[in-house]
Structure 1
Amino acid sequence: MALTALIKEAGGPENFILEDLPVGDPGAGEVRIAHKAVGLNFIDVYQRTGLYPMNLPHALGMEAAGIIEAVGEGVTHLKAGDRAAYAAQPPGAYCEARVMPAAQVCPLPDDISFEQGAAMMLKGMTTQYLLHRTTPLQMGDTVLFHAAAGGVGLIACQWARAEGINLIGTAGTDEKCALALEHGATHCINYRTEDWVAQVREITGGKGVDAVMDAVGKDTFDGSLDSLKPLGMMISFGNASGPVPPFNLGVLGPKGSLKITRPTLFTHISDHATCQQMAQHLFDKVLSGDVDIRIDQRFALKDVADAHRALEARKTTGSTILTL
């Protein structure tokens, strides 16, 4: 049996319930993993509220780290006793242990802690595909990154600095801006007190940025388009302020023949070999010291509702984990 946080209907954080559920044995292509720490991400909020519908009742959580207890037939990259971490579908990480598909579960290097592993897989591989797999970027390019002091943002600030990419961040307080700058952003704009679109234009000498990486959604979408240079790429990868409403595709022409994409991590990591390669790239960045995984909030699994409230209120910085 494993203590599990799940929801039986979509809604607010108060809908979480805790139950002891049977775990079972892994089938072909599966592993059983005992979690040591679990990551918290905004996609969990989208699933809890019903923005991303799912069959209920269901446990939430897409990211965790722990010890492999058993492997099913056909699993060759992991064995019982291995340290492991993952960002993967289906949801279900908010628990002490689970059986899950093995393909996206990755061996965790000994020099990376379980807490770091739980805090970095979804956010770090998201950063990897944003900077390496979505649009061609090279040293000297400039990107605009919203929510630069969040879990993905602080990893992206450091990764961009290591790659020689200029990252202009936005954040909601001066303290969060200072945090982004400390982690490698070349500039950071307080979007609550400044006209961030005008600031981006001023910083870039009126040219605009090569790409925008926007997980905020509705509140920043129009300004993000206006921050791009001609032929720039708009990467909309989240909806923290709500989903982007329908818009006229024709506006991309007069704004500079802009490009737009709505990627998801789970498309990028759906292939086993690609997922393992992306994870290794992330591990290399952390082990080299280029990227430090900052964990600013820890909640016990039983307090998962409070963790969600803090995340939705934008009271968090860096990564948030659930401890077991």
Structure 2
Amino acid sequence: MATRIEFSQHGGPEVLKAVEFTPKDPAENEVQVENKAIGINYIDTYIRSGLYPPPALPSGLGTEAAGVVSKVGSKVTHLKVGDRVVYAQSGLGAYSSVHNAPADKVAKIPDVISFEQAAASFLKGLTVFYLLRKTYEVKANETFLFHAAAGGVGLIACQWAKALGAKLIGTVGSAQKADRALQAGAWQTINYQHENISERVKELTGGKKVAVVYDSVGKETWEASLDCLQRRGLMVSFGNSSGPVTGVNLGILNQKGSLYVTRPSLNGYLTTRAEFDEACHELFSLIASGAIKVDVAENQKFALKDAVLAHQTLESRATQGSSLLIP
């Protein structure tokens, strides 16, 4: 028997329940993975709450984990039993001790990267790859704004920006989070509790503002993000932790300087195996070289059965960096 987390109705963290089940054999294009560490991502809370409803209820949760291949589907040729792997975009159900994942979404982990490092960084790292390398290609010495810089995605973005030689201005909600972002490689931070974001960006850039803003916060930062952009600048909206942006008057983009807005997704940028492999190679190289360090605080590692507490902690905005479930 194995254990997984399910929910039968939408709502707060309390709807998550641990259930016992017998794993099915993987389909012909799948592999079965014994999970050793499971990534927790903010999108999981959107699915649980019903903002991004799953295909049907009851439903599993989570799309990212690292572990060991235990069974291989009949048409899978690039993976074998015993391989150390990580996966994301697996279809809901990674909050589980055992999970069948599509083989084309599974990558082998270099020996120098641990299961915990892989599960804590894979989906977030792939996200930073498509944001900084594809949605808008950040260049050396370029200054840009990245919201929630001390979060799981944000801390990887800080390190990746430093590796690129770029200047990341990160928004944070406390002095402690500012220190964490700066240690990770942010050029400057803005504490949105005490500082006006757009005015501070103007000060830091000598009035030039920035060519691109990466915003995962949503409703609370929408207009401030637009005010930080140069003429014909790009607003990259890739999340909505404060709630979705609704009722937008597109005329505001004209008024604020002929701006562009995009709402990208991982699936839209890493669609082919070649795109997936390129992203994995760059991410794993940066982790292996030490340019990106992935450390999960002990108080952000939760037993699989404690998924309710994990979600409560994540949604309280009390976390820094990545959080994990451990089967």
Q: For the Cα contact (< 8 Å) 1:88–1:105, is it kept in 2?
A: no
Q: How far apart are 1:246 and its partner, in Å? A: 2.3
Q: For the Cα contact (< 8 Å) 2:32–2:71, is it kept in 1?
A: yes
- 1:131 aligns with 132
Q: For the Cα contact (< 8 Å) 1:169–1:189, is it kept in 2?
A: yes
- 1:100 aligns with 101
- 1:30 aligns with 30
* RMSD of equivalent CA atoms: 1.0
Letter matched to residue 21 of structure 1: F
- 2:175 aligns with 174
- 1:306 aligns with 309
Letter matched to residue 308 of structure 1: H
Q: How far apart are 1:48 and its partner, in Å? A: 0.4
Q: How far apart are 1:247 and its partner, in Å? A: 0.7
Q: How far apart are 1:99 and its partner, in Å? A: 1.3
Question: Separation in 2 of the partners of 1:214 and 1:258?
Answer: 15
Runs of 4+ in 1 over 6 A off after TM superposition: none
Question: Separation in 2 of the partners of 1:250 and 1:86?
Answer: 41
- Structure 2 spans left out of the alignment, 5+ residues: none
Q: How far apart are 1:231 and its partner, in Å? A: 1.5
Letter matched to residue 19 of structure 2: E
Secondary structure, counterpart of 1:81 in structure 2: coil
Q: Percent identity?
A: 49
Q: How far apart are 1:257 and its partner, in Å? A: 1.4
- Structure 1 spans left out of the alignment, 5+ residues: none
Q: How far apart are 1:142 and its partner, in Å? A: 1.1
Secondary structure, counterpart of 2:231 in structure 1: strand
Secondary structure, counterpart of 1:169 in structure 2: strand
Secondary structure, counterpart of 1:247 in structure 2: coil
Matches of residues 1-324 of structure 1 in structure 2 within 5 Å? 1-54=1-54, 55-296=56-297, 297-324=300-327
Q: How far apart are 1:259 and its partner, in Å? A: 1.1
Letter matched to residue 217 of structure 1: G
Length-normalised TM-score, structure 1: 0.98
Q: For the Cα contact (< 8 Å) 1:104–1:269, is it kept in 2?
A: no
Question: Separation in 2 of the partners of 1:23 and 1:274?
Answer: 31
Say which is worse superposed, 68-77 or 183-192, in terms of deviation. 68-77
Letter matched to residue 221 of structure 2: T
Secondary structure, counterpart of 1:198 in structure 2: helix
Question: Separation in 1 of the partners of 2:295 and 2:226?
Answer: 30
Question: Separation in 2 of the partners of 1:92 and 1:267?
Answer: 21
Q: How far apart are 1:56 and its partner, in Å? A: 1.1
Question: Separation in 2 of the partners of 1:89 and 1:8?
Answer: 20
Q: For the Cα contact (< 8 Å) 1:89–1:266, is it kept in 2?
A: no
| Pair 1:89–1:270, CA change in 2 (3 A) | farther
Question: Separation in 2 of the partners of 1:232 and 1:74?
Answer: 46
Give CA deviations for 1:183-207 in whole Å, capped at 9, x if unaligned. 1101001101111111011101111
Q: For the Cα contact (< 8 Å) 1:150–1:318, is it kept in 2?
A: yes
Q: For the Cα contact (< 8 Å) 2:87–2:101, is it kept in 1?
A: no
Q: For the Cα contact (< 8 Å) 2:155–2:184, is it kept in 1?
A: yes
Question: Separation in 2 of the partners of 1:214 and 1:240?
Answer: 10
Letter matched to residue 326 of structure 2: T
Question: Separation in 1 of the partners of 2:202 and 2:63?
Answer: 37
Letter matched to residue 313 of structure 2: A
Secondary structure, counterpart of 2:95 in structure 1: coil
Give CA deviations for 1:230-273 in whole Å, capped at 9, x if unaligned. 12110000010011112111221221111110011122223222
Q: How far apart are 1:279 and its partner, in Å? A: 1.1
Question: Separation in 2 of the partners of 1:73 and 1:252?
Answer: 52
Letter matched to residue 311 of structure 1: L
Letter matched to residue 51 of structure 1: L
Q: For the Cα contact (< 8 Å) 1:104–1:276, is it kept in 2?
A: no
Equivalent pairs counted in the alignment come to 324
Length-normalised TM-score, structure 2: 0.97
Question: Separation in 2 of the partners of 1:41 and 1:12?
Answer: 15
Question: Separation in 1 of the partners of 2:186 and 2:206?
Answer: 18
Secondary structure, counterpart of 1:241 in structure 2: coil
